[in-house]
Structure 1
Amino acid sequence: MISKLRAMFKDENFLKFIHWVENIVSKVLSIALIIVIFIAVVELIILLFKDLFITEPVGFFGKTLIEIFGLFLNILIALELLENITAYLRKHIVQVELVVVTALIAIARKIIIFDTTKYEKEDLMSLAVASLALSISYFLIRFMNQKYSQK
């Protein structure tokens, strides 16, 4: 029994086990995210239908367009997260470029739906700094990827 336990904890076997767990968790996350995306799309369609055809005045949005754009961007962010997981399942590496793009979309969403009555100007400035930092990171990652792909 001790020899089986030792064999199980050998580096190669243990790494295979970790790889198996990572795959299972990634697949479960993918399925959960697909469910979330479908629910978000259905909610968006219901909201649009109600705002356009049921709520008075008919043909106008009861919610502001900014809130509706925020819902669209939520779905886009979820799709980007799904792409991150899918890329991980394909190559078994976290693609930093995809993660930075997802973060940029999330920051852009926050800036688009930013409510000046709820937040201070410092909050908007911090979003701008985060956006600038992510943009620079994205530029550097793209530059390095192009540099290494040419070799």
Structure 2
Amino acid sequence: MKINRRREDTEENDHASLTTDQQDPLIKVLHQVISYAVRALSVLMALVILWGVVDVVYVLYQRLVQPPLLMLEIQDLLATFGAFLAVLIAIEIFINITLYLRDDVIHVKLVIATALMAVARKVIVFDYQILDPGYIWATGALLIALGITYWLVAWKHPRKVLLRQEYEDEPRDR
């Protein structure tokens, strides 16, 4: 598949998009199939988000009506936080899908941020008393790797920024 790198993609966002102007009819049809599949995923993700919100409300209600009434223990809080964060991650995935539908571009920075949020959710709800230390170390290494990756993707080289600013400040022939 041919990858088209638009000016705004290469200079500002560093995202690659699939072109829709294919010569091969099969590739055109496959691109449309993928587009419909992404739309279906978007609808399903919206349903998952709504289901997740209902689940959070239900779990919170059940925890609050158990004796002692209107009191939450630490395990209840962790379960509630986990449910909240799962819904927030689903919302981030939905945003990824809708951005892909709108721009036909995979936003790498947003995908990495979503992965960071998912791993952070895992760290928040860890039960450190039963987990193997190797698993905790591996998760920490994953968090560091994702953080460095996010920083590298988001980082703007000072010279590149300065050159872009000089380019934008130049008078243009119209």
TM-score by length of 1: 0.85
Aligned residues: 141
Shift of 1:148: 6.8
The residue aligned with 1:100 is 112
Instruction: Name the SS of the counterpart of 2:155 in structure 1.
Output: helix
CA distance in 2 between partners of 1:149 and 1:35 (Å): 45
Shift of 1:150: 6.8
Q: 2:82 aligns with which of 67, 70, 74?
A: 70
Q: Say if 2:63 and 2:76, in contact at 8 Å, map to a contact too.
A: no
Q: Which amino acid aligns with 1:45?
A: V
Instruction: Name the SS of the counterpart of 2:24 in structure 1.
Output: helix
Instruction: Name the SS of the counterpart of 2:130 in structure 1.
Output: coil
Q: Is it true that 1:60 corresponds to 2:71 in the alignment?
A: yes
Deviations for 1:63-95, whole angstroms, at most 9, x for unmatched residues?
A: 421111111110011001001101110111211
Shift of 1:144: 4.4
CA distance in 2 between partners of 1:119 and 1:68 (Å): 20
Mapping of 1:109-120 within 5 angstroms? 109-120=121-132
The residue aligned with 2:92 is 80
Instruction: Name the SS of the counterpart of 1:64 in structure 2.
Output: helix
C-alpha RMSD of matched pairs (Å):
2.1
Provide structure 1 residue ranges, at least 5 long, that are not aligned to the other structure.
1-9
Instruction: Name the SS of the counterpart of 2:144 in structure 1.
Output: helix
Provide structure 2 residue ranges, at least 5 long, that are not aligned to the other structure.
1-21, 165-174
Shift of 1:145: 8.9
Q: Which amino acid aligns with 1:134?
A: L
TM-score by length of 2: 0.74
Shift of 1:11: 3.8
Shift of 1:14: 2.1
